[in-house]
């Protein structure tokens, strides 16, 4: 184990020596812990090793907008040269803050800049920029770093104020903004009509007469974006409590937003949330990430949750990012094998979130399907690809406009959030790990063909945790910590040193 950690530190160091400014980096950037997985299933174990390998492959130097220093960060993938705001948040949230917290922190800071008035701001695409707060909060829970939390609270407070001023629609009590994709292939032609280009965010440029007069100009109000805003309000409250700061009106705003999401965006026709609503009505397209977030963040009630699980479209190779097929793609799909890039394809980052909510709701078979399909695809390719074909499971970029023509795009290689999506399946799903202000909890979901699994050397704050699980299913028969049986399935975050957790499951 010590040799492996040394090798990983060496890799990071090599990535970070091409610029003298990296000498200013705090040593915590290179503080690496490798949690080792053993399930008895070669495919699962190898996929996990590939996932961690892809995570390390995508550590690169980047000049931080905030500190102006060149620091090692997680870039979006091997085909990219920089971090993206939502990737930075999701990779930290998916498990990078356990494995390499210093670089996860660097990456979160790398997409923050200062406004002219000196306030910290989130950079990048605006509609899901508040994912940063979710990643930052999880980073704090994993590390206990109060200094980081103080900065994260400032960013969150400033960002909420900014978006309330620029993108909030008081008539609906919803925020304007796209759904999860920046590409036109997720949307009906109304929002895909951008003069043959691929970016849906270009819509106001070509429809100035229809653009909303305030903010960025896109009039749609998506479930995806509003679920993220709702969670950001709730996390702002929790940040404030931790820091002894004022909580303002965030709780009232959150509840009003939740009510509006369910009033305008819940679709009884599909039994799921709608892609968006605008002045012309709702769009009946559904997407995996929006519904996952609605469940995960507590927006959906019990009946809605069951309805989503019953109605969500699951392909042979995983949950599809969207459904049903858009008419323009259905028209060209004569062989049943041609799909839109952001419509009926399988994206691992969506699989990771869907698997998480399936596990949280004790849907063992749904969880196992995403775990098995993603691990098999990764082991076949020896990497985590950006997108997979829903029928064949092969790497597949999907169809989308490019320079005025419909074209087959590539599926980017070694995509970081695809790799960390799998890590999330292992940490949050298989071992049932969840974090709160006071503890780390365990509610594992073990598929029935597994029986004896172990996750060792997981670093959490000032402790290293070794977890052993015997049995399968979701019901905990016994929970033992350091040879002492406990009634609560959790460890307090003030413990130190090695903690050995033994869990016995009984279906």
Beta-bridge partners for 465: 458, 499
Q: Model pTM greater than 0.85?
A: yes
Q: Are 344 and 468 members of one domain?
A: no
Residue 22 pLDDT > 70: no
Say how many domains are in the chain: 2
3-state DSSP helix/strand/coil percent for the chain, to nearest 5? Answer: 45, 20, 35
Residue 310 lies in a domain: yes
Give the residue-averaged pLDDT of 285-310: 98
What band does 10 get if pLDDT is binned at 50, 70 and 90?
very low
Nearby residues of 166 by Cβ (< 8 Å), 6 or more positions away: 214, 215, 216
Q: Are 190 and 306 members of one domain?
A: yes
Residue 227 lies in a domain: yes
What band does 268 get if pLDDT is binned at 50, 70 and 90?
very high
Residue 441 lies in a domain: no
What band does 14 get if pLDDT is binned at 50, 70 and 90?
very low
DSSP secondary structure letters along 158-189? HHHHHHHHHTEETTTTEE-B--S-SBGGGS-H
CA-wise closest residue to 357 among 277, 268, 448, 291: 291
What band does 29 get if pLDDT is binned at 50, 70 and 90?
low
Q: Are 313 and 418 members of one domain?
A: yes
What's the rounded Cα separation, in Å, for the pair 153 and 149? 6
Give the residue-averaged pLDDT of 402-420: 97
CATH number of residue 203's parent domain = 1.50.10.10
Give the residue-averaged pLDDT of 219-236: 98
Q: Are 204 and 303 members of one domain?
A: yes
Measure CA of the first residue to CA of the last residue in the chain; give whole Å.
33
Residue 55 lies in a domain: yes
The residue with greater pLDDT, 457 or 121, is 457
Residue 54 lies in a domain: yes
pLDDT in tens, 67-77: 888 999 999 99
Give the residue-averaged pLDDT of 235-260: 97
HSE, CB side, 13 Å, CA atoms: give it for residue 226: 33
Looking at residue 388, the DSSP 8-state letter turns out to be B
What's the rounded Cα separation, in Å, for the pair 286 and 270? 8
Domain with 401, as residue range(s), is: 2-430
Give the residue-averaged pLDDT of 444-464: 97
The residue with greater pLDDT, 117 or 218, is 218
pLDDT for 23 = 35
Residue 140 lies in a domain: yes
Residue 58 pLDDT > 80: yes
C-alpha R_g of the chain: 22
What band does 24 get if pLDDT is binned at 50, 70 and 90?
very low
CA distances from 215 to 218, 281, 294 (A): 8, 21, 25
pLDDT in tens, 456-474: 999 999 999 999 999 999 9
Residue 445 lies in a domain: no
Is the bond preceding 151 in cis, omega lying within 30 degrees of 0? Answer: no
3-state DSSP assignment of residue 264:
helix
What's the rounded Cα separation, in Å, for the pair 46 and 35? 14
What's the rounded Cα separation, in Å, for the pair 191 and 195? 11
User: How many other CB atoms are found less than 10 A from the CB of residue 159?
Assistant: 23
Q: Are 321 and 418 members of one domain?
A: yes
pLDDT in tens, 335-375: 999 999 999 999 999 999 999 999 999 999 999 999 999 99
pLDDT for 12 = 44
Q: Are 108 and 56 members of one domain?
A: yes
What's the rounded Cα separation, in Å, for the pair 80 and 311? 35
CA distances from 383 to 36, 344, 377, 426, 467 (A): 18, 22, 8, 17, 26
What's the rounded Cα separation, in Å, for the pair 102 and 18? 19
Rounded to the nearest integer, the mean pLDDT of the chain is 94
Residue 437 lies in a domain: no
Of the residues 374, 397, 430, the one at which a domain ends: 430
CATH number of residue 498's parent domain = 2.60.420.10
Structure tokens at 422: 């799998």
User: How many other CB atoms are found less than 10 A from the CB of residue 394?
Assistant: 13
pLDDT for 162 = 95
Give the residue-averaged pLDDT of 223-227: 98
pLDDT for 26 = 52
């Amino acid at each position: 184990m010590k040799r492996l950690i040394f090798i990983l530190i060496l890799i990071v160091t090599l990535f970070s020596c091409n610029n003298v400014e990296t000498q200013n980096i705090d040593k915590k950037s290179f503080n690496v812990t490798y949690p080792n997985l053993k399930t008895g299933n070669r495919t699962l174990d190898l996929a996990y090793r590939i996932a961690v390998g892809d995570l390390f492959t995508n550590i690169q130097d980047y000049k931080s907008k905030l500190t102006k220093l060149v620091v090692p960060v997680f870039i979006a993938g091997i085909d990219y040269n920089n971090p993206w705001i939502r990737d930075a948040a999701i990779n930290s949230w998916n498990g990078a803050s356990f494995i390499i917290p210093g670089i996860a922190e660097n990456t979160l800071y790398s997409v923050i800049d200062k406004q002219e008035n000196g306030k910290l701001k989130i950079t990048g695409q605006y509609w899901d920029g508040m994912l940063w707060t979710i990643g930052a909060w999880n980073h704090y829970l994993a590390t206990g770093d109060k200094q980081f939390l103080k900065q994260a609270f400032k960013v969150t407070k400033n960002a909420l104020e900014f978006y309330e001023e620029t993108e909030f629609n008081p008539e609906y009590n919803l925020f304007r903004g796209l759904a999860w994709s920046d590409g036109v292939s997720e949307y009906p032609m109304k929002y895909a009509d951008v003069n043959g280009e691929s970016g849906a965010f270009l819509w106001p440029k070509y429809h100035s007469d229809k653009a909303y007069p305030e903010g960025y100009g896109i009039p749609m109000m998506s479930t995806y974006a509003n679920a993220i805003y709702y969670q950001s309000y709730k996390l702002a409250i929790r940040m404030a409590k931790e820091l002894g700061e004022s909580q303002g009106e965030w709780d009232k705003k959150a509840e009003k937003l939740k009510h509006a999401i369910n009033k305008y965006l819940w679709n009884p026709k599909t039994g799921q949330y709608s892609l968006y609503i605008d002045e012309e009505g709702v769009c009946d397209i559904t997407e995996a990430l929006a519904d996952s977030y609605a469940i995960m963040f507590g927006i959906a009630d019990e009946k809605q949750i069951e309805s989503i699980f019953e109605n969500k479209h699951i392909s042979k190779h995983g949950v599809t990012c969207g459904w049903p097929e858009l008419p323009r793609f259905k028209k060209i799909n004569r062989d049943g094998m041609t799909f839109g890039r952001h419509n009926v394809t399988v994206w691992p980052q969506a699989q990771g979130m869907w698997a998480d909510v399936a596990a949280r709701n004790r849907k063992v078979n749904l969880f196992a399907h995403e775990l098995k399909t993603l691990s098999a695809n990764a082991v076949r390719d020896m990497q985590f690809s950006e997108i997979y074909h829903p029928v064949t499971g092969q790497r597949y970029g999907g169809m989308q406009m490019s320079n005025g023509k419909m074209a087959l795009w590539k599926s980017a290689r070694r995509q970081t959030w695809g790799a960390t999506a799998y890590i999330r399946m292992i940490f949050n799903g298989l071992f049932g790990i969840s974090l709160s202000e006071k503890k780390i909890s365990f509610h594992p979901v073990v598929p029935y063909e597994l029986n004896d699994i172990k996750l060792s050397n997981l670093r959490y704050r000032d402790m290293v945790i070794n977890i052993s699980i015997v049995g399968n299913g979701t019901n905990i028969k016994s929970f033992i910590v350091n040879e002492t049986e406990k009634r609560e399935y959790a460890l307090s975050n003030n413990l130190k040193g090695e903690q050995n957790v033994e869990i016995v499951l009984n279906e």
